Every structure is written in C-alpha cells, then in structure tokens.
C-alpha cells in the first residue's frame, strides 16, 4: 500500500470520528513502518457502541484492534455521534479533503444547449442539367468534380437525331408564314425538347439546323457530380451534371430528447468550427425534425447560414450553441453539487461547526454546468461542490441517508420491535413505542410497506427504527433500520 493511499484511509477514519471526537494525530509505527492513528486523550470516558473499519463501514466489531481488511486500527462509534441529523467533520480535516461549497441562489437559467453538428449543402440549392432527347455527347467542356461553375457556362454539346429533325421541321414551317399554327407548334416542340428562347432565335436567324446543340449551366456553384463522359450515349431525362450552390449552407445539430422541447424554428444559434478558430457564425433554426432518432435519442435541428467566401465546407464538424430563452425561476446550484443515486438526488448542505446535512431534492432543467432545484432547498444554503463522496460515505455509515424524505413529503419516525415480517407478502407487524408527533401511544399494529425489500433479514423481537409517510389516508413504512 503506497503512502498516499494510507493517508487517505486515515483521513476517512478522521471523518468517521465526527465533530464530537478528538482528531487523531498521525504517527509512524516503528515495527511495520505504516501510518497509524494515535488517539488523543479523551476529555471523558465514553461508551463505544461498536468498532468498525471506515473502508468497510457495514462490518461492526465488539472490540477495538487491528482491522482484518486494511492495515489500520478499527475506529470506535460513540453513542453521541448518532444524535442529531447529518455528519460532523473536524474543520482541520475539511481543509485536507479539499471540501468546497457554493451558495444556492434564486434565479433563472438560460435554456442553453451545447451540442455538435455538421455542415451540409442546402438541398434547395442543388440543380441538375438534364437532356430531354436521346443522343450522344460529342463535346464535354466540364471534366472535374468540385470545379467552380457559373450560370450560363457552356457544359456540353450533344448530337440528337430527334432534335436535328425538329429543327428542320421548324425551319420548314417558317417558309409558310400563313400557317401560323404550324409555326407555333414547331417552335413549341423545340422548346419542349430543351432549346432555350435564345437558341430558337439564333436558329430562326441562321436558317440552318445545328448538328450539335449546346447545353449551359442553369446556376452557379460547384460541379458536385458528373454523370456522363465524351462520346457516351444519353437518353431523354438523363442527368448530365449536378451543380451545388454553397453560398448558403445548412448546419444539422443533434438535440437530446429532454432538451428538444426548448427549441422551435426561429431560435438563435451560434456555430464555431475547430478549423476556423476565433470565428463565430450566427444563424437561426430553420426546421426541427418531426421524429426522434431511436438509436441516439436525439432530434435533428437544421440551421441556415450564409457562407461568404465558402469558408463552411460540407462535411465539417461544428460546435453548436442553441438558445431557447430563460426557464422558470427556481433555486440554482452547481450541477456538481447534485449526487444522483439512481432513485433520488441529494445535495449536502454545509452548516456551522463542520456539520453537513444530506437533503433530498427534486431537480429540474440543467444548463451550462448549473441545475435548478424545484423542491428541497429554500435558497441561500451552502451546498458542497467537492469532496461529497467522502461525506456521503460517512452519511451512509451513520444512516443519515436512510432518514431522508422526498421533498414535500412529511416523514414520521419511531422505534419498535418486530412482531412479524414477511418479505414475500409484504406483511409487517410491529410493537411500536409512543410517537409524539402523531400523538400515538405504544401499541402493536400492522403496517403497509412501500417496498417489500426492506423486510428482508428482519427477525422477530428485533429492535428497529422506522420511518413512515401518510399515503391516501393510511401510513406506509418507507424505511427500517436496526436500532443502535
């Protein structure tokens, strides 16, 4: 065992002694060379309830001595340490353990979401150049994907027998101007086959059908896909080229399920990218997906961003901060102050003279390292933000956590002897002592239990402490502990 671990063990032992016991001085054993605890002289003789190893607090011993688990002495647990709620720690020990506190304040948290996303092209800014006739690519003027392209730029020249014949038909119709319907039908046919108004005007002026028909880019952007090659045959409706305009892009962000209700279209978003340090891009949420991804439990939000200089490139990862406005007013504590045990949330409230009280709380929204406490605190309390695991361990040892009550629920405690207890059926009969808070005299009665598991291991005649709450007019036992 290294020196650092031995020191931690002795510090934990110091916690277990509580404020009423004198702090142990540290000394080194000459025979073993290990760190041991040397007790100061007690002010008065006190009776120990039992001895225990702070690292294995559930195991009790009738006499002191060396721990069978660790290389250290067993620590006594005195009767006066059990009195009162909470845990007491020597102020000198608090400094050694680095225990820090923060004040529980009253206020509102911003509904801020920090998440990740990625840049992608705006689907509304993707154009396709298609041919409406069958033929062959005789000349292709664009060869490389991702090359820039401008609107009206020559892309390809195609020979199409059908288009060549339609040109001849139009020119023939022009020789019979008296048949206006024929001329209009021939002109409309050329338009349907893909010729622009300018190309039809040039054909009218030139008077000769063109073997090769030119195709031009419908928009500016980058060439994101080329579907054909020189000499290749094409069919009607076949896309030749895909053009993507990146002057405006989308950033798709993933929002976790419990925060998705904060965001609606129009909310502000800030985007930063590791590839562009120091730059922040601002945008607004344009669209929120109507379904949840069952694998990631997230909802997709789409943010529209202008992209001057094409700095934002599709595929880039982005850090996204979304703002959903201010939440409801409540008690705000650092998120690190909340201890979550699975079934409940606990904060440790620091009082005077090194006493710490575990308080069960009900939490609300969490944002930017802070959590709203809905029930359990009043505001102004000092809550522990570091070193909680040691204090929580001591609170478990003293049974303080077993005595916690849910926020807003009145808990009545008493002492009794078990008459009958069956974990299978949940049946419980106890002979309890007077309960002044309810003005109950001593009597033997049956009780309902909230969880049958608390009856496991109970024996007839065993002295216990118990907690109960009033539910639907009846009293239900929520916890049972061995009586010290």
Burial category of 2 from C-beta neighbours within 10 Å (exposed 0-12, middle 13-18, buried 19 and up) = exposed
Locate tokens 């041919």: which residue? Answer: 131
Nearest to 251 by CA among 419, 119, 157: 119
Nearest to 148 by CA among 42, 231, 12, 247: 247
| pLDDT the model gives residue 342 | 65
3-class DSSP assignment, residue 446: strand
| pLDDT the model gives residue 69 | 77
| pLDDT the model gives residue 431 | 94
| pLDDT the model gives residue 158 | 94
Helix (H) or strand (E) holding 166: helix 161-174
The C-alpha atoms of residue 396 and residue 87 are separated, in whole angstroms, by 10
Q: Are 211 and 159 in contact (CB under 8 A)?
A: yes
Question: Residues with Cβ < 8 Å from 74, sequence gap 6 or more?
Answer: 51, 52, 53, 61, 64, 65, 66, 67
HSE value, Cβ hemisphere, 13 Å, CA-based, for 292: 12
| pLDDT the model gives residue 392 | 58
The C-alpha atoms of residue 358 and residue 338 are separated, in whole angstroms, by 11
Q: Are 72 and 15 in contact (CB under 8 A)?
A: no
Is the pTM higher than 0.85?
no
Mean pLDDT per 10-residue segment, the chain (484 residues): 41 40 32 36 60 70 82 70 56 67 87 90 92 92 92 93 93 91 93 90 91 92 92 91 94 89 88 91 91 91 92 93 81 89 80 78 84 88 78 54 58 90 91 87 90 88 89 82 83
Q: Are 320 and 251 in contact (CB under 8 A)?
A: yes
The C-alpha atoms of residue 430 and residue 443 are separated, in whole angstroms, by 8
| pLDDT the model gives residue 12 | 40
The C-alpha atoms of residue 64 and residue 154 are separated, in whole angstroms, by 96
Q: In the chain, what's the furthest Cα-to-Cα distance?
A: 130
């Amino acid at each position: 065992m290294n020196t650092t671990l031995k020191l931690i063990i002795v510090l934990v032992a110091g916690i277990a002694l509580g404020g009423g016991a004198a702090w142990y001085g540290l000394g080194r054993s000459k025979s073993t060379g290990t760190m041991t605890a040397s007790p100061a002289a007690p002010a008065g003789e006190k009776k120990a309830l039992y001895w225990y190893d702070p690292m294995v607090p559930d195991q009790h011993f009738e006499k002191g001595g060396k721990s069978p688990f660790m290389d250290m002495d067993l620590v006594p647990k005195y009767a006066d340490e059990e009195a009162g709620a909470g845990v007491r720690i020597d102020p000198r020990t608090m400094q050694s353990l680095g225990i820090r506190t923060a004040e529980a304040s009253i206020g509102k948290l911003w509904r801020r979401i920090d998440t990740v996303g990625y840049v992608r092209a705006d689907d509304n800014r993707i154009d396709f150049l298609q041919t409406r006739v069958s033929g062959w690519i005789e000349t292709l003027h664009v060869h490389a994907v991702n090359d820039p392209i401008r609107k009206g730029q020559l892309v390809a020249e195609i020979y199409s027998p059908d288009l060549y014949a339609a040109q001849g038909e139009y020119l023939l119709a022009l020789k019979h101007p008296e048949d206006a319907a024929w001329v209009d039908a021939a002109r409309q046919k050329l338009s349907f086959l893909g010729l622009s108004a300018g190309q039809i005007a040039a054909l009218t002026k030139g008077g000769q059908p063109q073997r090769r028909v030119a195709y031009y880019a419908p928009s500016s952007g980058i060439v994101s896909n080329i579907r054909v090659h020189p000499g290749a045959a094409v069919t009607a409706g076949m896309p030749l080229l895909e053009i993507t305009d990146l002057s405006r892009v989308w950033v798709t962000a993933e929002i976790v399920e419990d925060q998705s209700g904060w965001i609606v279209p129009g909310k502000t978003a800030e985007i930063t990218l590791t590839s562009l340090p120091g730059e922040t891009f601002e945008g607004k949420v344009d669209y929120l997906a109507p379904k949840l991804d069952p694998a990631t439990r997230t909802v997709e939000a789409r943010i529209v961003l202008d992209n001057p200089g094409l700095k934002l490139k599709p595929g880039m990862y982005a850090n996204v901060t979304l703002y959903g406005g201010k939440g409801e007013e409540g008690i705000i504590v650092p998120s690190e102050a909340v201890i979550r045990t699975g079934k409940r949330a606990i904060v440790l409230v620091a009082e005077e003279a090194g006493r710490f009280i575990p308080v069960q709380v009900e939490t609300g929204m969490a944002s930017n390292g802070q959590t709203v406490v809905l029930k359990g605190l009043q505001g102004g309390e000092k809550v522990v933000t570091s070193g909680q695991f040691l204090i929580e361990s001591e609170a478990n040892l003293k049974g303080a956590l077993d005595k916690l009550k849910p926020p807003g629920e009145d808990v009545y405690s008493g002492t009794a002897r078990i008459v009958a207890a069956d974990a299978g059926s949940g049946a419980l009969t106890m002979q309890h002592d007077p309960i002044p808070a309810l003005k109950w005299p001593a009597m033997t009665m049956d009780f309902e239990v909230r969880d049958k598991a608390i009856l496991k291991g109970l024996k007839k005649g065993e002295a216990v402490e118990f907690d109960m709450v009033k539910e639907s007019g009846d009293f239900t036992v929520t916890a049972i502990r061995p009586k010290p």
